[in-house]
């Protein structure tokens, strides 16, 4: 038997269902920097408008978006400090421009600095550090400021940076310092191969950092990993020009936190000075490097494809001339292939008092001018397996 329900009864039932259901809705609040006085004309100083937008987002009880519409927005150095709102998104459809006079921000540690922030997303946008003038100053030998890092993430947690481009930073492009749970995805870094100290991404004193789907072209390390970096995952990265991916330099200080649980996979190095490198100064230190995996790596005309250097001293100036106290252990190099630009494709130059141990190389195929290159080992202990060229020195 079919039962029919009147439209009035159906309406009452629907209303009763909605009233009884436990639900909540959270409105998303958007703050457009233009409505707060910003102008994307490359000339107006927009620092106050951006900080006002940050303050408004911090004051919101709901998730908030700071929106930057198309244009070129001039900003001086700014610090965005953490607040009670743990769901703020910076959505940038524009280019943020540093002052063309490098002296304006040249002595600041960071141009744009997010400190003690939790739950931040930075989506899209271009950051133009306009560092070319400072690079020229440094090359001339004049007295110059050290330069500002373009983007600093400091003592912050649960951070996403996606689709961001960093151009011509004065110093480092992105620094992750003292953070937990940071993800960089689809980031692009670009600077001249002659640009000094312009590391693409630097990580230190941080845990659970992920860097994926990223392209870096710069004048220094594409990615540098400093003391206290743990549980770091790097995957699908294109590096070059640049100095490669480096753990270190370490042993700058006697008391120094170690580096551990680092995975670097599916990376292509093109025309870089180095490929995979671990470097430490030859001086006492209680630091260490352990549990590192390098795998599925392509080298294209790389000067030094695989390096452990515990006598690091760039330009051979003021070298400490001592012995590195950093202990390097349990490092795996697996499935690495391509071309070396020098005759020595693998070099393990380890500490005489703290020899490298647990070094494993597997399935390595590197060539130099269509012939087998060399490998050199000093104070390095480990094993080789699978096809290995150059012939292992372990």
Catalytic residues: 220, 243
CB burial of 37-56 (b: ≥16 within 10 Å; e: otherwise) equals ebbbeeeeebeebbbbbbeb
Contact between residue 204 and residue 176 where contact means Cβ atoms under 8 Å apart: yes
- 110 strand-pairing partners: 149
Q: 95: which strand partners? A: 72, 126
Q: Identify each DSSP E strand in 10-50 by its residue range.
A: 29-32, 41-45
19 torsion bin: left (phi>0), alpha (psi -120 to 50), beta (else): alpha
- What is the end-to-end Cα distance of the chain in Å, rounded? 85
Closest CA relative to residue 145, chosen from 205, 98, 214: 98
Task: Tally the residues of the chain.
Answer: 394
Q: φ, ψ for residue 50 (rounded to 5)? A: -70, -40
Per-residue HEC secondary structure of 217-263 comes to ECCCCCEEECCCCEEEEEEEEEECCCCCEEEEEECCCCCCCCEEEEE
> Peptide bond before 232: cis, by omega within 30 degrees of 0?
no
φ/ψ of residue 244, rounded to 5: 90, -165
> Is the peptide bond prior to 241 cis by the omega test (within 30 degrees of 0)?
yes
CA distances, 352 to each of 269, 270, 324 (Å): 30, 32, 8
Measure the CA–CA gap between 351 and 49, rounded to whole angstroms. Answer: 53
Q: What is the CA radius of gyration of the chain?
A: 25
Kindly state the DSSP code that residue 53 receives in the 8-state scheme: H
Looking at the DSSP bridge assignments, the partners of residue 308 are 278, 348
């Amino acid at each position: 038997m079919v039962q029919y329900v009147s439209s009035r009864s159906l309406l009452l039932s629907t209303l009763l269902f909605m009233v009884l259901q436990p639900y909540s809705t959270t409105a998303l609040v958007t703050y457009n920097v233009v409505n707060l006085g910003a102008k994307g004309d490359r000339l107006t100083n927009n620092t106050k408008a951006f900080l006002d937008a940050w303050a408004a987002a911090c004051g919101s009880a709901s998730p908030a978006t700071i929106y930057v519409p198309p244009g070129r927005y001039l900003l001086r150095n700014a610090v965005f400090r953490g607040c009670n709102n743990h769901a703020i998104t910076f959505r940038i459809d524009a280019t943020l421009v540093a002052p063309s006079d490098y002296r304006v921000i040249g002595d600041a540690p960071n141009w744009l600095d997010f400190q003690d922030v939790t739950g931040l997303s930075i989506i899209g946008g271009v950051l133009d550090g306009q560092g070319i003038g400072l690079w020229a100053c440094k090359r001339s030998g004049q007295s110059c400021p050290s330069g500002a890092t373009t983007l600093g993430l400091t003592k912050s947690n649960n951070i996403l940076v996606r689709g961001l481009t960093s151009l011509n930073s004065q110093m480092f492009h992105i620094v992750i310092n003292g953070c937990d749970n940071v993800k960089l995805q689809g980031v692009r870094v670009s600077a001249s191969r002659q640009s000094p100290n312009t590391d693409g991404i630097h990580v230190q004193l941080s845990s659970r950092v992920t860097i994926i789907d990223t392209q870096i072209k710069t004048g220094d390390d594409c990615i540098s990993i400093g003391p206290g970096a743990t549980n770091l995952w790097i995957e699908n990265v294109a590096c070059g020009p640049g100095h490669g991916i480096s753990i270190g330099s370490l042993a700058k200080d006697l008391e120094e936190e170690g580096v551990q649980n680092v995975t670097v996979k599916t990376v292509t190095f093109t025309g870089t000075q180095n490929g995979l490198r671990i470097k430490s100064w030859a001086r006492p230190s209680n630091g260490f490097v352990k549990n590192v995996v390098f795998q599925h790596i392509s080298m294209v005309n790389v000067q030094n494809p695989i390096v452990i250097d515990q006598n690091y001293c760039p330009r051979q100036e003021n070298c400490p001339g001592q012995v590195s106290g950093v202990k390097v252990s349990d490092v795996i190099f697996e499935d690495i292939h391509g071309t070396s630009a020098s005759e020595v494709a693998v070099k393990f130059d380890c500490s005489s008092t703290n020899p490298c141990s647990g070094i494993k190389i597997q399935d390595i195929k590197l060539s130099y001018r269509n012939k087998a290159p060399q490998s050199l080992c000093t104070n390095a202990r480990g094993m080789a397996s699978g096809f290995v060229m150059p012939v292992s020195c372990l």
